[in-house]
Amino acid sequence: MDAPSGAPTPQQVDGLVALAEDLFNEAQRCADAELWRAAILSLGGAVEAAIVATAIRLEARLREQGAWPRTRDPLRWSLGDATQLARNAGWLATSLTHGSDDLFAPLQGEVGDAVRFLVAIRNMLVHPGVYIREDVRPDLADIDQMRPTYEILHGIAAQVFGRLSEALTLHPSD
C-alpha cells in the first residue's frame, strides 16, 4: 500500500520501530542506574513509538473500523492518544470501566487498563502540574518504591509490545 501524500514514509515507520526498541533498552539501562524518571519516560516513549508505528502500518484497517482519528497526524499523537487508539482498535483489551480516581485500579484489569497506570505515572513525571495535583505520586528517591514500580511498568510495556506484534501478525500488509 502506498503512503498517502504527507503520510510517514516506510523508512520513517521503520525509524519509529527502531526508536521504540532503543527507548525500551534505554529504559532498562536507566533503571539499572536507578534513574527512575528517565527510565519511566523512556518506557512511555517506547510504547508511544510502537503504537504509532503499528497504527501507521495498519492505517487502512483502522480507517475501515472507524478507529483512525479523523483529523490527527499520527506523528503528533500524544501517549494518551496512542494508547486510546490501541484500545479502540482492539489491540489492548480492557475489562474495567474508565473513571475511577484510584491510581492503582487499572492494574486489576487487562493490558488496555494497565497501560492507563503507565500513562498516569509518566504524566506525573513529565508534567509538573499533574505531579503537584496528585495525592499519590512516585517518590523517586525511594528505591524500595521505585524498583517495583518500574518493574510493573516494564511488564506493562512488554505486554503492549506483544499485543502490537499480534496485531501486525494478523494483518501483516494492510
Tens-place pLDDT, residues 33-85: 999 999 999 999 999 999 999 999 999 999 999 999 876 789 999 999 999 99
Residues contacting 68, CB < 8 A, separation 6+? 55, 59, 62, 85
Cell numbers representing residue 68 in the block: 483512525
Higher pLDDT, 29 or 128: 29
Quick check: 25 pLDDT over 60? yes
Predicted TM-score (pTM) of this structure: 0.91
The Cα 50–Cα 17 span in angstroms is 6
Looking up cell 497501560 gives 115
d(CA 29, CA 39): 8
* pLDDT for 4 beyond 80: no
Residue 3 has pLDDT above 90, yes or no: no
Rounded to whole angstroms, the Cα distance separating 24 from 15 reads 14
Is residue 171 pLDDT above 80, yes or no? Answer: no
